[in-house]
Amino acid sequence: MIKLLVYLAIVLAFILVFQLMRIYQLSAEVKGKHIGKADENDNRSQGIVMILFVLALFAGLIWLLFDVRGIMLPPAASDVGVTSDNVFLFNWIIIFIVFFITTFMLFYFPFKYKKTKDSKAYFYPHNDKLELIWTVVPSIALAVIIIYGLSLWAKMTGKPDDKAMVIQIYAKQFDFTARYAGADNTLGKSDYRLIDDGSNNTMGLDSTDEKGWDDVIAKGDIHIPVNTPLLFKCNAREVMHGVYFPHFRDQINCVPGITTEIHFTATITTDSMRRVTHDTAFDYVLLCNRVCGGGHYTMGSKVVVDSKEEFAAWMAKQHPHFSHLYDMHHKTAVATAMK
């Protein structure tokens, strides 16, 4: 009932405004004024309105920037993230400078050059220097932005640290699975033809590859150690997914049939970030940022950044996927060494 009354009030308000405009028009026609033709007073008042509008627009935008600061992402929690934030800040500075100048000029010119009875149009067909300036300056600015952005891309996807911990992120509709390389820091081979959800080989791991016998598969929460270089090898089963770490400012497409890589070093543990954000329920997340099907909105995992000691304790509780092969191999190696 309340909504109906609100809608009715809005409709009546529109009717009232329309009728007031009609009354104004009729009264102007009675006085012999052509309401469809602007005079100098109209031009002057419209010019003033233009100035007031653009100033209100700028004030509202500045207020909005400060108002939304509390709901933005917290500080970047990785080395790549710091560079990413700097690149975005650099872009925003340029965008805002250009926006404020051009928008102010757009509304100031109708006020400055409003028509009067003595005004005359000025014929200005061509200016080589002006065209050169507005071509060269934006080109230089874009070149700087692109080069700066490529430096970030190289930091995200270039050659990782030789000692980086290798973790596979396996994406499928509609979840992520993490596979940690074991003590050899080398992932075992996998093949899509070996995928068998019934036998729990959902990633198609090759049991004949000894390098994969100590690999650990983790469903649900993804744990990573702080201040440790991490190399993520990303694969998708059926369609393109996105591996997106918003708090670490890192992401890559996950494409079926190929392996894509990103790397970063987490610099703030989950517990520390909870203190920074004053939010005891804060969690890092991994999200899919490519529309991958009807359940896309549900695709995500919690990421836990542990201290090195906490991560070692967590990893000690995990068991290799091919634990029977790993244990057999380990016992054989020990027996051989004792002979």
Q: Which tens digit of pLDDT belongs to each residue from 29-60?
A: 676 666 666 667 778 888 888 999 999 999 99
Is the pLDDT reported for residue 122 higher than 60?
Answer: yes
Task: Please report the sign of the dihedral spanned by the C-alpha atoms of residue 121, residue 125, residue 128, residue 134.
Answer: positive
Q: Which tens digit of pLDDT belongs to each residue from 164-205?
A: 999 999 999 999 999 999 888 999 998 888 888 777 788 889
Residue 72 DSSP label: S
Is the pLDDT reported for residue 329 higher than 60?
Answer: no
In this structure, what token pair is assigned to residue 22? Answer: 């009609």
- What residues contact 217, with CB distance under 8 A and at least 6 apart? 177, 178, 179, 180, 203, 321
d(CA 319, CA 317): 7
In this structure, what token pair is assigned to residue 236? Answer: 């998708």
d(CA 76, CA 261): 20
Instruction: Assess whether the previous peptide bond of 174 is cis (omega < 30° from 0).
Output: yes
- Does residue 228 contact residue 248 with C-beta atoms inside 8 Å? no
Amino acid at 203: M
Domain boundaries in the chain? 70-114+127-324
Burial class for 270, CB neighbours closer than 10 Å (0-12, 13-18, 19+): buried
Bridge partners of residue 252, in order along the sequence: 243
Q: Which tens digit of pLDDT belongs to each residue from 272-298?
A: 999 999 999 999 999 999 999 999 999
- What residues contact 123, with CB distance under 8 A and at least 6 apart? none
pLDDT for residue 192: 86
Q: What is the CA radius of gyration of the chain?
A: 31
CA-closest candidate to residue 170, choices 59, 252, 254, 102: 254
Distances from the Cα of 279 to the Cαs of 249, 272, 275, in angstroms?
A: 20, 10, 7
- Does residue 260 contact residue 254 with C-beta atoms inside 8 Å? yes
CA-closest candidate to residue 236, choices 157, 169, 289: 169
CA-closest candidate to residue 239, choices 197, 164, 296, 324: 296
Q: Which tens digit of pLDDT belongs to each residue from 131-150?
A: 999 899 989 989 999 999 99
**Secondary element (H or E) of residue 57:** helix 40-67
Q: Which CATH superfamily does the domain covering 70-114+127-324 fall into?
A: Cupredoxins -  blue copper proteins (2.60.40.420)
Helix/strand number for the chain, H first, E second: 7, 10
d(CA 124, CA 238): 60
pLDDT for residue 36: 60
- What residues contact 277, with CB distance under 8 A and at least 6 apart? 74
The answer, as to whether pTM is greater than 0.85, is no
CA-closest candidate to residue 223, choices 170, 266, 162: 266
**HEC letters along 268-300:** CCHHHHHHHHCCCCCCEEEECCCCCCCCHHHCE
Amino acid at 217: I
Query: What is 247-262 written as a DSSP string?
Result: GGTEEEEE-BTS-EEE
